[in-house]
Amino acid sequence: MSKRVVVDPITRIEGHLRIEAQMNGDRIESAWSSGTMVRGIEIILQGRDPRDPWAFAQRICGVCTLVHGLASIRAVENALDYKIPDNAVLIRNLMNGAQHIHDHVMHFYHLHALDWVDVVSALDADPKATAELAQSLSSWPKSSPGYFADMKKKLKGFVDGGQLGIFANAYWGHPAYKLPPEANLMAVSHYLEALSWQRDVARLHTIFGGKNPHPNFVVGGVPCAIDLNSDSAINAKRLAQVQDIITQMQTFVEQVYLPETLAIASFYKDWASRGEGLGNFLTYGDFPANGMQDPSGFMIPGGAILNRDLGTIHDIDMNAADEIQEYVSHSWYEYEAGKNAGLHPYAGETTLDYTGPEPPYEQLEVEEPYSWMESPRWRGHAMEVGPLARVLMLYASGHEQTRELVGMTLKKLDVPVDALFSTLGRTAARTLETKIIADAMQGWFDDLIANIKAGNTRTFNEVLWEPSSWPNKAQGVGFMEAPRGALAHWIVINNEKIENYQAVVPSTWNAGPRDATGQPGAYEAALADNHTLHDPKQPIEILRTIHSFDPCIACAVHITDPDGEELISVKAV
C-alpha cells in the first residue's frame, strides 16, 4: 500500500518545516523537505550601509542568535581587507563558542530529548534508583534521591493537574521509547535544569554584546572596549564573570550533557544504522587563532569529504564560480537562465515565484517546486554540514582530542565506526564537539587575559570605519562554523552601499529540496535510509532523524537579487 505521511508543523525546531514521506508499506520510500515561510531579507538589504547588515542578517535566526551577525561583519571585513585586533578575534571566538555550547545543550534537552525520553514514564521511576543511575554517570552534585523525589513530585502534580500544556498530545507510551523510567526521570530533571543553566550562561553574550538574544557586533572589531580602570568597560569584574560562565559551561557539559547523551544512546543503538543520507560532508572552518585571513590557524579546518572517505579531504574555494552553487529546480524561485541552472552566490539571482498549491492545502506537488529553500551544491554534490561534518573533519585531520572522544564513544556504545554515519552518530557528534569547544573556551579566555596583561587592550580598528575610506567597488565572503554547520555570506559593495547580499546557510545545505538532477538534500536522503514507521499517525521516527540535524528553517530560506530589480512575480494564487 502506498501512502503519503505529512508532518507539518515539525515542532521543536526553529522555523517552519514540513516533511512529506511516501510510504511503501511501513517503510519510508522517499521524503520531501519543504520550508514554508519566506521573508526576503536579502532584498531588504539592497542599497543599505554595509556596516548595518549584520543586524538585519542576525535576525535571520534568533536561535543561533549571533551567527549571521558574525558572518556578515566578516563578509564586509573580507571585502575591505579590514584587519581586526587580536582581542576582537578572541572575543568573537568566545561569543561563537558560547553560542555553540548554549545552542547544542538546548537542542539536546529542549528540542531533541522528547524524541527519546518519555515524560509520562518518568512518573514510574524510583528516585533512589534514579540517583544511583545519575551518580554512576558523573559527580554532578544534584544527583541525590531527594532531588529526584522532588522532581518526580513536581512532575506528578503537573500531570495530575490535567493541563499538560507543551507536553499535551505527544506520543507518550509509544513502543519506540526504550528508556527505563529512571533514565526518563533523570533526563526530564535535566530538561528543567538546562532551562535554568542556559539563561545564566547566555550572559556571556550580554557582557560582550549587551544582550541575548541578538547581541551586538561591529565591523572592525567588537563594540565593548577593555579598560581595567573603568567602571564601564571590560574590566576585572567583567572578566571574572566570563570565567565563571566558562566554568559553568564546562561543568554542565562534562557532568550532565556528555554522560547523559551516551547513557541515552546506549538504549537506542538501532539508530546507529539508519538516517545517514548523503555520506558527503562539508565544513568552511572557524575559530581562528590569527584572524580569518589565516586558515592554518583555524581550530576546525575547512574542507569536503566525499562518500565517507575520511582519507581524502578536498580543498574548497568559496570564491570559485564552479564550486558552491545554488539550484532552484524545486524551489519557489525563478532564474533568468531557467529553472535548472546552478549559480554561484556572487552571480546569484532570485525571484519569488510561488507556484505551490493554494492554501489551505493537504499535500505538496513534489514533482514541481515545493519549498522556499534552495538547493546548494558543492561541485554538484549534495553535502551535509553541521556537528557531524565538523567532527569527521577534525577526526580526518588528526585532531587528537576528537580521536580520543570518538574512540571513547564507539567503545562505550560498542558500535563500529560506521555508526557515526547515522541519526545517532549525528546526535552524538553534536555532544562531542560541545566538549571540544567548551575546553577551547578556556584557551581563548587565557589568551585574552595574557594580552591584557601585556598591555594590549585594543578591541577596534577605526582605520576603515568611514565608508569614504573604502574603494568604490569591493566584494567579499564571510564564512564561519555556526552550530548547525557551515555558513557564509557574500557581499558586493558599490559606492558605499550594498549592491548584492547573499547567504548560503547550514540548514539550506541540509534541508534543501531536490536539485535539477533529482539529487535529494540531506534530510530527504536521511529519511529514505532505513526508516520504518510503527504508526504513521505518530511518526516519531521522522522526528528523530529530522531533529538529529537540528533544523533552523528561518535561516534556510533566503532570497537574493543582484540587480535590485523587481523581484516578486507571483504566478499562482
Partner 1 sequence: MTAIKAESRRPADETLGEALRSHGISRRGFLKFCATTASLMALPPAMIPVVASALEKARRPSVIWLSFQECTGCTESLTRSHATTIESLIFDHISLDYHHTLQAASGTAAEAAREAAMRDNHGQYLLIVDGSIPLGNPGYSTIAGVSNLDMLRETAEGAAGIIAIGTCAAYGGLPHAAPNPTGAVSVSEIITDKPIVNVPGCPPIPVVITGVLTHFLTFGTLPELDSIGRPMAFYGQNIHDRCYRRSFYDRGLFAETFDDEGARKGWCLYKLGCKGPVTYNACATTKWNNGTSFPIESGHPCLGCSEPDFWDMGGFYRTLSMPTGHFSTALGYGVAIGAAAGLASALLGRSERDKARSAHEKVSVDDLDKGGSS
Residues 150-169 that bind partner 1 (CB under 8 A): 150, 153-154, 156-169
Cis peptide before 387 (omega within 30 of 0): no
- The 335-374 contact track toward partner 1, x by CB under 8 A, reads -----------------x-x-xxxxxxx------------
Q: Among positive and negative, which fits the CA dihedral 399, 403, 409, 414?
A: positive
Is 12 a binding residue for partner 1 by CB under 8 A? The answer is: yes
Is 60 a binding residue for partner 1 by CB under 8 A? The answer is: yes
- Residue in 162, 62, 179 with CA at minimum distance from that of residue 113: 179
Please say which residue, 180 or 443, places its beta carbon nearer to partner 1.
Answer: 180
Residues 232-261 that bind partner 1 (CB under 8 A): 232-233, 241
What is the Cα–Cα distance from 537 to 156, expressed in whole angstroms? 27
Which residue in the set 336, 367, 400, 462 belongs to the binding site for partner 1 (CB under 8 A)?
462
Residue in 33, 34, 422, 507 annotated catalytic = 507
Residues 28-47 that bind partner 1 (CB under 8 A): 36-41, 43-44
**Among this protein's residues, is 68 annotated catalytic?**
yes
Q: How far is CA 2 from CA 18, 21, 28, 294, 306, in A?
A: 19, 10, 10, 53, 33
What is the Cα–Cα distance from 16 to 510, expressed in whole angstroms? 15
**Among this protein's residues, is 205 annotated catalytic?**
no
- The 190-209 contact track toward partner 1, x by CB under 8 A, reads --x--xx-xxx-xx-xxxxx
Is 310 a binding residue for partner 1 by CB under 8 A? The answer is: no
Torsion of CA 69, 74, 77, 81, to 10 degrees: 180
Residues 521-540 that bind partner 1 (CB under 8 A): 537-539
- Residue in 22, 37, 2 with CA at minimum distance from that of residue 553: 37
Residues 88-147 that bind partner 1 (CB under 8 A): 106, 110-111, 114, 119-120
Residue in 326, 377, 552, 558 annotated catalytic = 552
Please say which residue, 168 or 398, places its beta carbon nearer to partner 1.
Answer: 168
Pairing of strands 303-305, 2-7: unpaired
What is the Cα–Cα distance from 168 to 160, expressed in whole angstroms? 13
Residue in 42, 61, 100, 260 annotated catalytic = 61
Residue 286 CB, shortest distance to partner 1, in Å, is 22
Is 460 a binding residue for partner 1 by CB under 8 A? The answer is: yes
Question: Angle at CA 212, nearest 5°, toward 117 and 98?
Answer: 65
Q: How many chain residues are in contact with partner 1, going by CB under 8 A?
A: 120
What is the residue whose three cell numbers read 519549498?
371
Please say which residue, 395 or 549, places its beta carbon nearer to partner 1.
Answer: 549
Residue in 18, 33, 42, 64 annotated catalytic = 64
Reported as type and span, the H/E element at residue 73 is helix 67-80
**Among this protein's residues, is 64 annotated catalytic?**
yes
What is the Cα–Cα distance from 133 to 182, expressed in whole angstroms? 8
**Among this protein's residues, is 224 annotated catalytic?**
no
**H helices present in 138-221, as ranges:** 145-160, 181-201, 203-209
Which residue in the set 4, 6, 137, 379 belongs to the binding site for partner 1 (CB under 8 A)?
6
Known catalytic residues? 14, 61, 64, 68, 484, 507, 552, 555
